[in-house]
């Protein structure tokens, strides 16, 4: 190729790659498959290798520099990076708005201003950065630092694919500095921590720490692997060009130049609509693929912004409306050990009550002894607890530099706290178990709760509290005793009169009409969840066939490996379990017979699906049934073993995780076509 045609081709390739990046990151669209994009990149890389003098710093091939830094140099912000004021309640929001309206009212006119126009956007819990473009080229990236001086992180921000090295289109100012929030999605955060655990390395406490830690790496190759993302929220220093005169239009301009802005940004009228926005974003907070800690309101008119100005180091024209904190500091008072349905002993933290995530919590799960070791947790420690959404509260960090002198070590008891049987470690040495099975009162109680639960026998009205009372009175020794209960035994128990007692007895009676998979699931066999119970029912057809199966035939069931097969085998050969099953059947439990079909060898046989988000043409439950009826398996979480993610609308962290792991993603239509085509 002649030198000038190489130059032309290189420029063409860069334009095409820029075009696809713009479509992908800004418009959320794709025009060509990944393979074609990769081909363009490869061709560019090869040409640049042959003609190194044609390489420019803005070329999309030049994201990762070669040499790690020894330290970050200092950057002076030409325009200080300010902080934001906060409001925490609707009342405070109204006061913020009133202050602005008072300030903007014509002095002496006696008239107050009508509703002000605001731009609302989620407030990401990430790391604020500044990006400087000169002549459209990214020349500097800096942290916020103390607002006046930050650190030069240019090498690292260059590795972030959502940050353009060259602005898109034209019309941008000669010098354009923008500010935004760098973050790590919830899905990426989970996989970074999973990898860290596998390699026995320290995990990050939350996505913000992960983003900050990834950004402050002296070796940009590490940053490049962390999948950082950005949303730009404002322009800062501008020279040699004009920006629009409203904040909303400015964000649109930035977007047209290839700078990614948050798709949730919305223009509203007045404080009441700000409050509605706050509530709407709050409602979908858990489904957003990134962490937020509130929303931000900004006056839309730049002229009005200038009129109201600043107070100390914060703009008067903007405020953050914060959600209740999801992390708080408290003290670990004690650790208790709970015995679960399968005998696993879980340490539970008893905490000094603390208000976090909108509720007061006094307990948090500690998972297992490994977690306690990893956290270096001692009784008496000051700890950070986290409660995000509906997730069970968790101790995420010990504040070791505030460790009091008299803390004590946490030790797993040698004997079950309920039945005093010996506690044994599992093969991996992580899970400790009481091996007394149903002889242990705690396991009996948990097995009854499980048997009655919605996905098992679905006994409505038999909640945890009544099970506890009945067990304490000795009326329930096993699940079979449920069917011997009389209404007179219930009357007088906490919350039970004649009517409610009769109702519960009727619900127990109604539960006798069930299905084989629900019955098997309800038995609470170790490692046999809903899906495995269905597989067993489909494979063997009858309970007798399952009971009489052996290790070998069990292992031939899809998705059942030697360990699960051994648990099933062991369960059905235990004489106590056989007696309980006989008692249940003689109490009258029945189910429709099952045709032993070829379903387990269906078109999705061997494939693992995860279903997430809102589907239009079917419910998620329908989709799961369809997958299973075609022999596939439905899992609740995305992992490297997932074959497909069926993602409906507002798919949150599961989608992000699937993208990170390279799991194939299907929308509803593609799923239907796949199911029909196979």
**Torsion angle (degrees, nearest 10) of CA 364, 368, 369, 372:** -40
Does 254 bind ligand I6G (CB under 6 A)? Our answer is no
User: At how many degrees (to 10) do helices 562-573 and 575-586 cross?
Assistant: 70
For the question of residue 123 being annotated catalytic, the response is yes
Does 315 bind ligand I6G (CB under 6 A)? Our answer is yes
Of 210, 215, 224, 318, the residue at the interface with ligand I6G (CB under 6 A) is 318
Cα–Cα dist 160/55, whole Å = 19
Please say which residue, 231 or 432, places its beta carbon nearer to ligand I6G.
231
Please say which residue, 120 or 634, places its beta carbon nearer to ligand I6G.
120
Does 259 bind ligand I6G (CB under 6 A)? Our answer is no
C-beta of residue 97 within 8 angstroms of C-beta of residue 319: no
Residue span binding ligand I6G (CB under 6 A) among the ranges 77-85, 161-169, 483-491, 608-616: 77-85
Phi/psi of residue 42, nearest 5 degrees:
-65, -40
Q: Which of residues 19-58 bind ligand I6G (CB under 6 A)?
A: none
Does 82 bind ligand I6G (CB under 6 A)? Our answer is yes
Q: How far is the CB of 190 from ligand I6G (least distance, A)?
A: 24
Of 58, 121, 381, 628, the residue at the interface with ligand I6G (CB under 6 A) is 121
Residue span binding ligand I6G (CB under 6 A) among the ranges 78-86, 302-310, 472-480, 531-539: 78-86
Q: Which residue is nearest to ligand I6G (CB)?
A: 233
Residue span binding ligand I6G (CB under 6 A) among the ranges 79-87, 505-513, 535-543, 589-597: 79-87
* Both tokens assigned to 94: 């109204």
303-to-134, 249, 291, 308 alpha-carbon distances in Å? 26, 13, 32, 9
C-beta of residue 632 within 8 angstroms of C-beta of residue 605: yes
Give start and end residues of each alpha helix (H) in 378-485: 441-452, 464-472
Q: Which of residues 346-365 bind ligand I6G (CB under 6 A)?
A: none
Q: How far is the CB of 533 from ligand I6G (least distance, A)?
A: 48
Does 238 bind ligand I6G (CB under 6 A)? Our answer is no
Does 181 bind ligand I6G (CB under 6 A)? Our answer is yes
Q: Which residue has 């070669």 as its token pair?
A: 66
Q: How far is the CB of 262 from ligand I6G (least distance, A)?
A: 8
Q: How many degrees, rounded to 5, is the angle at CA 286 between CA 285 and CA 290? A: 75
* Both tokens assigned to 129: 């950065």
Cα–Cα dist 541/301, whole Å = 70
Please say which residue, 83 or 460, places its beta carbon nearer to ligand I6G.
83
* Both tokens assigned to 43: 């061709």
Bridge partners, residue 379, by sequence? 408
Q: Name every residue whose Cβ is closer than 8 Å to that of residue 328 and which is 6 or more positions away in sequence.
A: 354, 355, 356, 384, 385
Of 87, 93, 128, 271, the residue at the interface with ligand I6G (CB under 6 A) is 128
Does 624 bind ligand I6G (CB under 6 A)? Our answer is no
Of 22, 118, 233, 671, the residue at the interface with ligand I6G (CB under 6 A) is 233
Report how many helices (DSSP H) and strands (DSSP E) the chain contains, helices first. 24, 24
Of 87, 296, 467, 543, the residue at the interface with ligand I6G (CB under 6 A) is 296
Catalytic-labelled residue, pool 111, 123, 266, 373: 123
CB atoms within 10 A of CB 468: 15
Residues that bind ligand I6G (CB under 6 A): 82-84, 121, 123, 128, 181, 233-234, 296, 315, 318
Catalytic (active-site) positions: 123
């Amino acid at each position: 190729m002649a030198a000038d045609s190489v130059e032309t081709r290189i420029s063409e390739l860069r334009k095409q790659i820029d075009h696809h990046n713009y479509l992908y990151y800004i418009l959320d669209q794709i025009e060509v498959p990944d393979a074609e994009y990769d081909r363009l990149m490869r061709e560019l890389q090869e040409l640049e290798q042959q003609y190194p003098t044609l390489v420019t710093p803005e070329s999309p091939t030049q994201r990762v520099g070669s040499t790690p830094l020894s330290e970050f140099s200092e950057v002076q912000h030409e325009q200080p990076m300010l902080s934001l004021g906060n409001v925490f309640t609707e009342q405070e929001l109204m006061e913020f708005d009133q202050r602005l309206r008072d300030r903007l009212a014509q002095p002496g006119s006696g008239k107050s201003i009508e509703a002000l126009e605001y731009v609302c956007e989620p407030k990401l819990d990430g790391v604020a950065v500044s990006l400087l473009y000169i002549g459209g080229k990214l020349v500097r990236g800096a942290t916020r630092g103390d607002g006046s001086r930050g650190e030069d992180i240019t090498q690292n921000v260059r590795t972030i694919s959502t940050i353009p090295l060259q602005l898109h289109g034209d019309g941008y100012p000669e010098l354009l500095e923008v500010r935004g929030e760098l973050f790590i999605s919830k899905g990426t955060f989970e996989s970074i921590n999973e990898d860290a655990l596998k390699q026995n390395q320290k995990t990050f406490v939350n996505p913000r720490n992960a983003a900050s830690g990834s950004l402050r790496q002296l070796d940009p190759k590490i940053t490049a692997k962390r999948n950082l993302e950005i949303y730009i929220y404002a322009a800062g220093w501008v020279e040699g060009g004009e920006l629009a005169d409203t904040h909303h239009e400015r964000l649109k301009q930035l977007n047209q130049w290839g700078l990614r802005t948050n798709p949730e940004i919305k223009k509203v009228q007045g404080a009441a609509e700000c409050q509605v926005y706050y509530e709407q974003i709050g409602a979908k907070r858990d489904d957003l693929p990134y962490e937020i800690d509130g929303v931000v309101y900004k006056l839309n008119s730049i002229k009005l912004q200038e009129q109201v100005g600043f107070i100390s180091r914060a703009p008067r024209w903007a405020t953050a409306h914060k959600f209740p904190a999801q992390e708080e500091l408290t003290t670990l008072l004690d650790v208790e050990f709970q015995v679960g349905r399968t005998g696993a002993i879980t340490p539970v933290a008893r905490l000094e009550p603390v208000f976090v995530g909108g509720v007061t919590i006094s307990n948090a799960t500690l998972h297992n002894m490994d977690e306690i070791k990893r956290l270096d947790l001692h009784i008496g420690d000051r700890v950070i607890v986290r409660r995000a959404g509906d997730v069970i509260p968790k101790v995420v960090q010990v504040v070791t530099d505030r460790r009091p002198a008299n803390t004590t070590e946490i030790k797993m008891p040698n004997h079950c706290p309920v039945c005093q049987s010996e506690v044994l470690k599992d093969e991996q040495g992580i899970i400790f178990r009481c091996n007394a099975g149903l002889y242990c009162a705690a396991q009996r109680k948990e097995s009854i709760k499980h048997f009655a639960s919605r996905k098992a026998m679905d006994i409505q009205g038999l909640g945890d509290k009544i099970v506890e009372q009945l067990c304490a009175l000795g009326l329930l020794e096993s699940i079979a005793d449920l069917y011997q209960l009389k209404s007179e035994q219930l009357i007088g128990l906490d919350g039970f009169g004649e009517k409610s007692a009769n109702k519960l007895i009727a619900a127990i009676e109604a539960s006798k009409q069930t299905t084989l998979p629900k019955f098997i699931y309800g038995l609470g066999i170790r490692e046999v969840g809903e899906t495995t119970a269905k597989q067993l029912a489909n494979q063997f057809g009858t309970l007798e066939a399952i009971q009489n199966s052996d290790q070998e035939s069990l292992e031939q069931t899809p998705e059942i490996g030697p360990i699960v097969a051994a648990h099933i085998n062991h369960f059905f050969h235990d004489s106590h379990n056989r007696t309980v099953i006989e008692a249940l059947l003689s109490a009258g439990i029945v189910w429709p017979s099952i045709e032993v079909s070829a379903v387990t060898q269906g078109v999705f046989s061997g494939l693992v699906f995860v279903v997430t988000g809102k589907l239009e043409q079917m419910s998620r439950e329908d989709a799961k049934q369809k997958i299973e009826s075609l022999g596939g398996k439905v899992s609740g979480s995305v992992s490297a073993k997932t074959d497909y993610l069926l993602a409906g609308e507002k798919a949150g962290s599961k989608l992000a995780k699937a993208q990170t792991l390279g799991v194939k993603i299907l929308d509803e239509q593609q799923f239907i076509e796949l199911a029909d085509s196979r």
